């Protein structure tokens, strides 16, 4: 463009589409209900939807740079919907390098982030929607939940050294759930929601 000052290459300059959450020239990874059934509280409701196997979310990860000081980032799209009364959500994870924080930037839709401090067990729920930023501190498991009627689209930006640990939260799951009650999302203790489900089947 300008002599002696070339444009940035595709490792440093990308175009993205905020409505459907695609990054031009990159391939998203998709997660379907079959991949995530165990994360939902209502196992009967999950089994009833397994044949349909809806798309829950997709993430396009940009992990081109490695080493101290570098950043990784990803564009997430979480679809609207529910399994039973529980809203569509991501699997959720901790960072393999526990001190690594992350910044989430909401682009579209209406969602919540569920945060759980691994050291104290303390949980937090915070909105994630267009024009919001959520800072996820280190040692904190994080999951996004779509409580709206359109796709929830957001960026996550984190240290290239963070890594992902899905195993820890996969085994014990988050302590709270986000479920629909009288047409609105409510946050409940998982144990209390499981007792409600059990009472309904008796």
Q: What is the binding site for Mn ion (CB under 5 A)?
A: 102
By Cβ distance, which residue is nearest to Mn ion?
102
Nearer to Mn ion by Cβ, of 53 and 135: the residue is 135
| C-beta of 102 vs 116, nearer to Mn ion | 102
Burial of 56 (0-12, 13-18, 19+ CB in 10 A): buried
Q: How far is the CB of 112 from Mn ion (least distance, A)?
A: 16
User: Considering the complex, what minimum distance in angstroms separates the CB of residue 103 from Mn ion?
Assistant: 10
3-state secondary structure of 44: helix
In the complex, minimum distance from the CB of residue 42 to Mn ion, in angstroms, rounded to a whole number? 26
Candidates 28, 36, 76; CA nearest to 54 is 36
> Which residue, 86 or 102, has its beta carbon nearer to Mn ion?
102
Contact of 40 with 13, CB cutoff 8 Å: no
Q: How far is the CB of 138 from Mn ion (least distance, A)?
A: 11
Q: How many helices (H) and strands (E) are present in the chain, helices listed first?
A: 4, 17
8 Å CB contact between 110 and 80? no
Whose Cβ is closer to Mn ion: residue 42's or residue 102's? 102
DSSP 8-state code for residue 88: P
């Amino acid at each position: 463009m300008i002599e002696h000052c070339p444009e940035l290459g595709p490792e440093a300059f990308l175009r993205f589409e905020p409505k459907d959450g695609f990054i031009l020239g990159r391939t998203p990874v998709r997660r379907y209900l079959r991949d995530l059934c165990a994360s939902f509280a209502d196992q009967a409701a999950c089994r009833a939807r397994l044949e349909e196997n809806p798309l829950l979310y997709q993430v396009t990860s940009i992990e081109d740079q490695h080493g101290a000081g570098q950043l990784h980032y990803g564009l997430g799209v979480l679809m609207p919907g529910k399994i039973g009364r529980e809203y569509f959500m991501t699997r959720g994870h901790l960072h393999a390098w526990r001190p690594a924080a992350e910044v989430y930037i909401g682009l579209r839709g209406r969602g919540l982030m569920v945060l759980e401090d691994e050291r104290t067990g303390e949980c937090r729920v915070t909105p994630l929607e267009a024009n919001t930023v959520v800072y996820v501190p280190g040692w904190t498991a994080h999951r996004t939940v779509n409580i709206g009627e359109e796709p929830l689209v957001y960026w996550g930006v984190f240290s290239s050294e963070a890594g992902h640990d899905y195993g820890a939260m996969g085994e014990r799951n988050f302590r709270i759930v986000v479920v629909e009650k009288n047409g609105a999302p409510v946050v409940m203790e998982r144990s209390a929601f499981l007792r409600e489900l059990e009472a309904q089947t008796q």
